[in-house]
Chains A and B, each alone.
Chain A
Amino acid sequence: MAPVLQLKGITKRFPGVLANDHIDLTLEEGEVLGLLGENGAGKSTLMNILYGLYTPDEGEIYVRGQRADIRDPNDAIALGIGMVHQHFMLIPVLTVAENVMLGMESLRYGVLLDHASAAQRITEISDRYGLQVDPYAVVEDLPVGIQQRVEIIKLLYRNADILILDEPTAVLTPQEVEGLFEVIRSLVAQGKSVIFISHKLREVLEISDRIQVLRGGRVVGSTTPEESTERDLAAMMVGREVILTVPKEPREPDEVVLHVEDLYVRGEHSKMAVDGISFDVRGGEIVGVAGVQGNGQTELVEALTGLRPVEAGRIEIGGHDVTHATPRIITEVGTAHIPEDRRSDGLVLSYPITHNLILNTYYLPPVARGMVMQEDVIRERAERLVAEYDVRTPDVFTPVGNLSGGNQQKVIVARELSRDVLLTIAAQPTRGLDVGSIEYIHAQLVRKRDEGAAVFVVSAELDEVMSLADRIIVMYEGKIMGIVPAAEATKEELGLMMAGVPAAELGDAAASSRVSAEASGGAAEPLHKAH
């Protein structure tokens, strides 16, 4: 039986980079193929080729045994290929039905949009595959998990048989991930074939029938869940032995540095994104915030760093009341901030490294004397920091936009952590980075903590939080569900809290989910994932 999909020798070059290097890939009908790889390994490029957004320089694609020439998404859709992108391709202001039918709209009298028949078809699909959704709801009002259902429905609406899911679990709680897996199993049972792209080794092992690993644009391994462990897969992805834990000595925390009391912060659409939370962070400890993105973590960090107004409550750093302070005051009080979106918030991409390193010190002596900036001081400082923090660059005058993601983040880290600060706030510090950079940044954060600073880390990667933090705060819909010491926390409990179960009620809920915890193996959980 011919495989439903075959890629042979796919090669794609971009200026300066060989993204896909003669890749062969096979997908059998009715199976789930897990595609693993670091950022930059070439998985997204490959899938974009399959979906018609790029054309390959070499290589062929065979769909159900027939040679296929996919020039644009319409061709892919016609062949029954559909893709759910990592960042949703939904139009927020339109309804579910409008989003789903866009591009193949149902029409009445040849001209008018026919919402009713689209809605009917959507409901049929919903019932068949267990993807309940209201066709007339406006997409931006829907929670992320439901939005993902809409994306999948989009594919099924077009009779896709080959479904590509790119990092689908990035935005889901562990329980929602289970729900998604059930949907995938249901799809496969009805004859669909799925390519599951992820960097989360455990999930890939759980859902895939076969696994292929990409590294540097090549396929470096082809295996099955029975034959390999997470450690094997991680090594294949990265090409070397990966240390899966963050080396950390235990340390007694010092004084309270960050004190947050009854904090209320308004988010978009006049909703209260941070809904009355209180916590402390002491010097010499790392506090991590776990929670699916969109539960107020971003707004919390913005409030702490002065980028968003505080509705009510109190924030103190080092004893100073900074509740309504500007970002500059908060920085001067002794705060370092590694922002969530490094390209838009943390760096000026067109500026050279030198000028990015002084982004928050440009007006202080010795960088500036009065109004005049001292170029020699700036250059010297840059050279020192670049060496110290191992930033790979031709010289310090290179525009930061030319650096790789990892090196860009290192510039930010160099800038922030080289200062003598009381509090370090890091939001998604390792998102989208290669393993080497991730290890480096984790080491830097631990160093800061060992030096006595308070470190506050927000991350959507539960494993990162669990391995890095001394204490873990779980946020859900703007409230704190619980604060637990990292050593005692289990993934199941954290998952429940992330889904809205407060710590107090965990007892009963935990009992029922303990069964599934046994099933996934109680061995040492890998604490450090390659991306």
Chain B
Amino acid sequence: MSDLLVTASKRRRARTMGIAFLVFAVAIAGLFGRGIQPGQQTTFVFQTSRDEVVAVGDLAVATRPAVYLTALVTAFLGAWQLARGFTRVDEVLGIVAGLFVVAFLTWAARGQSMNVTGLLKSSLLRAVPITLAALSGVLCERSGVVNIGIEGMMLMGAFLAALIGSISQNVWVGLMGAMAGGIVMAALLAVLAIRYKVDQIVAGTAINILATGLTSYLSSRYLQRNGALNSPPTFRPLALPGLSKIPIVGPALFNHTFPVYLTLLLVIGIQFMLFYTRWGLRSRAVGEHPRAADTLGINVFLTRYVNVLLGGMVAGLGGAYLVLSSVARFDELMTAGKGFIGLAAMIFGKWVPAGALGSSLIFGFADSLQTKLAILAVPIPSQFLLMAPYLVTMIVLAGVVGQPHPYSFS
């Protein structure tokens, strides 16, 4: 009997999913099928420059049929889900969301062209600081310390990258300075949270306030008066030989500045270290059940300290990226919430580095979409597009942190 009950609720969920897919299909047809001139075409461009080894031609599709086709495929998926049901429904949901986005892009760029490779590239670029923030969160939280202060650590990193980079006129020194700044702020968090047992969110908030205050104060005092202190050099893009010529994805993935590559390496590295090395096992043990780890002789305090400091370093790196790979100067409050979005990416990615990268890419995509759409003169005010990453964050948090569970309380 109990098996029947379990199946019954599974069937309900499956049905809801199927209906949701159908709703998506209708939305696609209804929203993106309108306003299309007869015979209009959308051109998808797949290169950023004209010198790829294998040039992939542009793909021009007739807009209206393309949109309807997408709607049809989505509807088919919905019907299949209702009739037979997919075993991996969540993945199909991802596909449906993807189709929705594709249809949206097709409609938005009707009569014009849309540079897909460029979009991919810019998504990755905007995902980098979020990824670093998320990685910082993963490192800290896996060992049991909630780190709300990532925003402050990134800000400090950005500030020091600009200042030290300007003074030394050397990107690498600036980078080091940024990471040092992140470590210092993280040390404060660690001392407060681990040694003095301050509530971790209060401690993180204090870090944010201090970092905001210090960087703004020092920026007014020094950087704004003396421009030479706020003009650091930047990283030049480094095209990986061979790889960057791969059609479509080459320019998007393999023609970036050093910090971007470093970020991708960090994702792989931290993922490996967390799950395949002794340090990772101990860190996870300390995060899951510190008392148990203690009885086995593991130094819980030390493990947490190390992880938090590493997290600070990574967050500082994120701040440095904003300055040294991008705008080449420090503006007050320039992190604009990326530290918090990174936390959302971490949660969405289930506290796993690879997942954090994936969800950061989604956020980065939402962010870069906003610029693209402004260029395409899509009739939505830019401020609403700017809201996109924040709305996505909230939706992600709501959907991910458990199903609605009115009876349990973490």
Contacts and interface: CB of A to CB of B under 8 A. Distances in A.
Q: A and B: direct contact (Cβ < 8 Å)?
A: yes
Contacts of A93: 284, 288
A72 B288 contact: no
A74 B297 contact: yes
A88 to B, nearest CB: 8
B53 interface: no
Interface string A83-110: 1010011111110001000110101000
A90 B288 CA distance: 10
B295 interface: yes
Nearest to B297: A74
A498 to B, nearest CB: 21
A196 interface: no
Interface string A111-138: 1110000000000000000000000000
Interface residues of A, number: 36
Nearest to A108: B276
B1 interface: yes
Interface in B114-146: none
A77 interface: yes
Contacts of B278: 105, 107, 111, 113
Nearest to B278: A105
B277 A112 contact: yes
Interface in A261-279: 264, 266, 270, 272, 275-276
Interface in A41-100: 51, 53, 72-74, 77, 83, 85, 88-94, 98
B65 to A, nearest CB: 44
B285 interface: yes
B66 interface: no
Contact of A89 (B277, B282, B291, B407): B291
B297 A77 contact: yes
Interface residues on B, range: 20 to 34
A103 B284 CA distance: 12
B294 A73 contact: yes
Contacts of B281: 94, 98, 102, 105, 113
A53 B295 contact: yes
Given A102-B282, A107-B278, A264 B296 contact: no
Candidate in A53, A74, A91, A98 with the most chain B CB atoms within 10 angstroms = A91
B294 A113 contact: no
Interface in A368-384: none
Interface in B313-371: none
A72 B293 CA distance: 12
Given A102-B293, A264-B1, A112 B276 contact: yes
Contacts of A275: 1-2
Nearest to B280: A113
B297 A73 contact: yes
Contacts of B11: none
B306 interface: no
A308 interface: yes
Interface in B205-228: none
Nearest to B298: A103
Contacts of B291: 89
Contacts of A89: 289, 291-292, 295-296
A117 B296 CA distance: 19
A102 to B, nearest CB: 5
B407 A73 contact: no
A209 interface: no
A91 B295 contact: no
Given A53-B295, A73-B297, A312-B5, A92 B288 contact: yes
Contacts of B282: 102-103
Contacts of B292: 88-91, 102
Given A91-B289, A102-B282, A272 B5 contact: yes
Given A102-B282, A113-B276, A276-B1, A73 B6 contact: no
Nearest to B287: A91
Given A111-B277, A264-B1, A264-B2, A309 B407 contact: yes
A85 B281 CA distance: 22
Contacts of A88: 292
A91 B293 CA distance: 9
A102 B6 contact: no
Interface string B259-303: 000000000000000001110011011001101111111100000
A478 B281 CA distance: 35
A412 B11 CA distance: 43
A119 to B, nearest CB: 15
Interface string A409-434: 00000000000000000000000000
Contact of A311 (B5, B295, B296): B5
A308 B407 contact: yes
A307 interface: yes
Interface in B5-34: 5-6
Contacts of B298: 102-103
Contacts of B407: 307-309
A88 B288 CA distance: 13
A206 to B, nearest CB: 28
Contacts of B288: 91-94
Contacts of B296: 73, 77, 89, 102-103, 154
Contacts of A154: 296
Contacts of A103: 282, 293, 296-298
Interface string B52-81: 000000000000000000000000000000
Nearest to B291: A89
A377 B1 CA distance: 51
A72 B5 contact: no
A73 B6 CA distance: 45
Contacts of A272: 2, 5-6
B295 A85 contact: yes
B90 to A, nearest CB: 16
Nearest to B296: A103
A272 B407 CA distance: 16
A19 B21 CA distance: 64
A94 B288 CA distance: 9
Nearest to A111: B277
Candidate in B289, B291, B292, B294 with the most chain A CB atoms within 10 angstroms = B292
A102 B276 CA distance: 13
Given A91-B284, A103-B296, 18 more contacts: A53-B294, A88-B292, A89-B295, A90-B289, A91-B285, A91-B292, A91-B293, A94-B281, A103-B297, A105-B281, A107-B278, A111-B278, A112-B276, A154-B296, A270-B6, A272-B5, A308-B407, A312-B1
Closest 9 CB pairs of A and B: A272-B2, A103-B296, A89-B292, A74-B297, A73-B297, A105-B278, A91-B289, A89-B295, A91-B288
Interface of B: 1-2, 5-6, 276-278, 281-282, 284-285, 288-289, 291-298, 407
13 contacts: A51-B295, A53-B295, A73-B294, A89-B291, A89-B296, A90-B292, A94-B288, A103-B293, A105-B281, A111-B278, A113-B281, A272-B2, A312-B5
